[in-house]
Amino acid sequence: MKKALIITYYWPPSGGAGVQRWLKFVKYLREFGWEPVVYTPLNPGFPIVDNTLYADIPDDIEVVGTPIWEPYTYYKKITRGESTPKIESGSLNNPNSLGILGQLAVWIRGNLFIPDARKFWIDPSIKFLRKYLIDNHVDVIISTGPPHSMHLIALKLKECFNIPWLADFRDPWTDIDYYKEMKISAFADKKHKKLELKTITTCNAMVVVSPEMKTNYENLGCRNVHLITNGFDPDDMVSDPVIPDTRFSIAHIGTLPPGFNLKGLWQVLAELNDTIPGFQTNLVIKLVGKVDDSIIDDLAALNLETQLELPGYVAHDLAARIMKQSSVLLLVINQKSPNAKGILTGKIFEYLAAGRPILAIGPTDGSLAEILKESEAGTISAYDNVVQIKEIVLKMYDKYLQHNLNNSGKGIEKFTRKNLTAQLAKVLNGIITK
C-alpha cells in the first residue's frame, strides 16, 4: 500500500471546522490504496476541543508529532484584563472590537508572524521529519492550510528529498477575508505573496475547495490545480428518528463573528413578530457556537432576545442532530471577503445532508448559489436585500405551518467524504506516476 505523510495543525481533539477535512480523508484513504501517516503538534492551543472525533480515526493509524511553541500564552499575559484573550481569525473581521493591545497583536501577527503564528513550528518540524523520512519511506507529502506554515514545512522537505508534494488549501492565503484587516505593511505583504507563490509553483499538485479558488490559483501560476470540495459523512448524520422542532426554528451552526452580523435578517424577523399573528410565539433563533456580543446586542435591541437560544459550542454529533431537528438552516458568507463568490464551507454540505431547507445570505452568483440551485436545497439572498430575505422567510414559514419543510438533496451523493477521498486518491496516484 502506498504511504502518504500528512502535515496538519488540526487533528483530534481539535473541534471546529478545520479538523474535519483531513480527519475524513484519513478515515477513508485505506479503501483507495493509501496508508496515511499524520504529523501534528503534540501540544497545540486549540480554541475548541471535541473528544468525540477520536472515533473517526481508523485503528492503527500512525500519528507522529513534536511539541509546538505558540505566542498566544504571552499575548494573554500582556492583554490580561482586556475583553479579547486571544486573537482568532473571526475577530479580525472587525479589528475595532479589540482593545489597543489587541490591535497591536493583530499588527504583530500580520507583519512579524509570517505566514502565521505557527511559524515557530516550521524549523523543529523540518528537523524531525528529515530524520523520519530517512528512516521511513513515504510516496507523497501532503500539507494542509491554514495555517499556511504547514506548507512551508512541506516545501523544505520537497527541496531536501524531492518527494512528490500535494498542497491542500482549505482557505486562500492572501485572498482570505481577514487578510486586509491584519494591518499588513507593504514589506510584509510582499513576503506573504512571495511565500504563497513559491508554495503553489513548487508543489507537484494543489487541491482547493471551490471553482473560484481553482481559477485564481491557476492565474497566479500553479499548473496542476484540482478541485475537491468539502463534503459530508453519512456516518455523522444520525440515523435514528429525529423529531423536528415544534417551533419555527432558524438555526446557525458555527462561529458568528462581527462580520457575519445579519442585520437585515434580524430586522425582518422583528417585523414579522409585529405583523404576523402567531409568528412571535412560533419563532426560535438557535445560534450554535461562538457568537459575537455585537450580534447578541443587535438581537436584544430588536426585542428578539426571548426567542434566542445560545447553546455555545456542541460536539459534532450533537450539531448534526440539531441540523436535522431545525426548521431552517442558516448559512452566512462574509460579504467583505474578496473571494466571497468562491467560499464553500464544510457546513454547507452537512446542511445538504440534514435534509432541511437552507436560507443562505451571500453572493447570489457564486459557488454556493450554484450548489443550492442544483440540489434544490434552499434559497440565497444578497446581504442587503431585505425584501428578498422577507419573501424567503415567509415562504419557509408557510411550509412550516403546512408541515412541509425539507430540501430535495438532489445529487448530493458526489459530496460524500468517501467519494471525495476517491478523487483525492486519483490526484495522489497521478503525481507519483509523473
User: Among residues 327, 305, 348, which one has the least CA distance to residue 406?
Assistant: 327
Report yes or no on whether pTM surpasses 0.85: yes
Together in a domain, 259 and 197: no
CB neighbours of residue 76 within 10 Å? 15
CB of 339 closer than 8 Å to CB of 172: yes
Q: Taking residues 58-75, what's their average pLDDT?
A: 87
In this predicted model, what pLDDT tens digit does every residue of 350-399 receive, in sequence order?
Answer: 999 999 999 999 999 999 999 999 999 999 999 889 999 999 999 999 99
Question: What pLDDT, on the 0 to 100 scale, is given for residue 69?
Answer: 92
Over 80: is that where the pLDDT of 80 sits? no
Alpha-carbon distance 370 to 359, whole Å?
A: 14
CB neighbours of residue 5 within 10 Å? 24
Judged by average pLDDT, the poorest of 177-191, 240-254, 268-282, 342-356 is 177-191
Q: Does residue 94 sit within a domain?
A: no
Which of the four pLDDT bands, split at 50, 70 and 90, describes residue 123? very high
Together in a domain, 206 and 344: no
Q: Taking residues 130-147, what's their average pLDDT?
A: 97
Which grid coordinates belong to 211? 471553482
In this predicted model, what pLDDT tens digit does every residue of 395-416 receive, in sequence order?
Answer: 999 999 999 998 888 999 999 9
Question: What pLDDT, on the 0 to 100 scale, is given for residue 335?
Answer: 76
CATH number at residue 248: 3.40.50.2000
Over 60: is that where the pLDDT of 76 sits? no
Domain that holds residue 123: 2-71+113-231+416-433
| Amino acid symbol at 84 | T
Together in a domain, 64 and 183: yes
In this predicted model, what pLDDT tens digit does every residue of 309-334 receive, in sequence order?
Answer: 999 999 988 999 999 999 999 999 98
Q: Give how many domains the chain has, as a whole number.
A: 2
Report the mean per-residue pLDDT for the chain.
91
Q: Taking residues 247-272, what's their average pLDDT?
A: 95
Q: Taking residues 76-92, what's their average pLDDT?
A: 46
Q: Does residue 83 sit within a domain?
A: no
Alpha-carbon distance 278 to 210, whole Å?
A: 41
The residue count of the chain comes to 434
Percent of the chain with pLDDT over 90: 76
Q: Does residue 349 sit within a domain?
A: yes
Over 60: is that where the pLDDT of 132 sits? yes
Place of cell 438532489: 410
Over 60: is that where the pLDDT of 261 sits? yes
Which of the four pLDDT bands, split at 50, 70 and 90, describes residue 98? low
